[in-house]
Chain A
Amino acid sequence: MSQDWTPFSHIVVNLARQIRPGEITFSGVNSTLAMLACLLAKRAYDFHFTYLNVAGGVEPLPKKIPHSSSDPALIAGSPAIFGNEDFYDLCARGGLDLVFLGCAQVDGQGRTNVSVIGEWKTPKVRLPGGGGAAVMMPTAKRVVTWRTEHSTRTLVEKLDFVTAAGNLQTVVTPIAVFQKRDGRLALESWNPQVTLDQVNRRTGFRFDAGGAQPTAQITASERAALESLDPRGEFAAGVRA
């Protein structure tokens, strides 16, 4: 694996970089990249944090990395099972520091749509729904989302439907990292393999790019952890720019 970012490594590593020491962190269903980010942070970073997942795992040590982020393989090695009711309740009472929640669309205020493209009653695409997003996004201390497609139809000025709103802090894509500043998503960094102008043209919401920098290079330990999680490149093959 070269020093250059790939779409896959830019998403997974920059998701992992949002995790802070001592935090209680959670990844949910249909969130393979977030699951990989949490497992990467465990291997690459020299600090403790607590990793919970939707399978009910607490600090799991999976023997193999499952395709699905809700696979019971994610309770292997776990000393406890902290299931659906427990982690939602923990979030609602303010006990989850960092929650990874997927989305189909995200707007400039950091609200997400996982429900429908088009009108609710006459949808162009009916999406699977938010799971617990409407409950978790306002109650988690920080929420991070990601998109494998960075385009004007995924990063939008106006959502087709607001599934969840609240404490979204970070959006990670193959080419950019946005952080919420004063209630709006602002560009924090961009993948140096593209230009700032390309990020602008591919983003549907207007954003402040003041202070934005090229994304800091992947470190040796991040690269080693990513290779250990995806030795045959199967997960990477699922992410195209």
Chain B
Amino acid sequence: MTLVAGLRAAAYGVPFQPVGGVHGSDLAALNGWRKIQDPYGSGQEVYVIPAIRPDVAVIHANEIDEHGNARVLGSPFWDHPLTRAAKRVLVTAERLVSSEALAAQPELTLVPGFLVEAAAVVPRGAWPGSMHPLYEVDYPAVEAYLKDEHGALEAHLAAAPEQERGS
């Protein structure tokens, strides 16, 4: 959540973001987080997290049009603050659709195209993770990748969906 606070600061265009909690955690000293008194006099002390402005955000979307408008279905996780905080936004998507299809339900577009620098259509691009509602987590692939044995990484990369397509 402190990460989101830092992203929000960048998205809001301010140098830091107040955040609830953190009191009593060694993470504050470790990261050099400061706390400030409520300037409006409530007496509360609040931690403030410095802005985090990623150079590049990369997200995976369900659908994208030729202008980079990207629709994400299911839970958005960090997609919203990430794409607003980053200097550049790249999108991969399951499939290309028409702009008319997105315009039919514009509230489902998570990132408008003017924020997107480049995009690629990569079916099953979230593998071995999931993409709601198209496919679920590939648990056997995750477990195989986690094995501490020679060649596990190479085998994982070779099994990636873009390899099947030879692209």
Contact = CB atoms under 8 A, between A and B. Distances in A.
Interface of A: 55-57, 66-68, 71-73, 75, 81, 83-85, 88, 91-93, 111, 115, 120, 130-132, 134-139, 161-166
A94 B136 CA distance: 33
Main secondary structure of the interface of B (DSSP, over half): loop
Interface stretch (B14-22, B144-152, B159-167): B14-22
B137 interface: yes
Given A136-B21, A138-B21, A84 B4 contact: yes
Contacts of A164: 24-25
B80 A135 contact: no
Contact of B132 (A75, A131, A136): A75
Interface of B: 1-2, 4, 19-28, 30, 74-78, 80-81, 130, 132, 136-137, 139
Contacts, number: 93
Contacts of B2: 134-135
A26 B76 CA distance: 18
A115 B74 CA distance: 30
Contacts of B30: 120
Nearest to B21: A135
Contacts of B21: 91-92, 134-139, 166
Given A71-B137, A72-B136, A93 B75 contact: no
A55 B132 CA distance: 11
A81 B139 CA distance: 24
Contacts of B23: 138, 165-166
B26 A161 contact: yes
A61 to B, nearest CB: 15
Nearest to B25: A134
A9 B80 CA distance: 39
B25 A165 contact: yes
Contact of B75 (A72, A137, A139, A165): A72
Given A135-B19, A135-B22, A136-B1, A115 B132 contact: no
Nearest to A112: B25
Nearest to A64: B136
14 contacts: A67-B137, A68-B137, A71-B130, A75-B74, A83-B76, A84-B77, A85-B80, A88-B4, A130-B25, A134-B28, A135-B20, A162-B26, A164-B24, A165-B23
Kindly list the 5 A-B residue pairs having the minimum CB-CB distance in the complex, ordered from nearest. A92-B20, A165-B24, A56-B75, A135-B21, A134-B25
Contact of B27 (A68, A71, A134, A138): A134
A162 B75 contact: no
B109 to A, nearest CB: 16
Contacts of B81: 85
Contacts of A131: 1
B136 A88 contact: no
B20 A55 contact: no
Contacts of A161: 26
A83 B19 CA distance: 17
Nearest to B8: A85
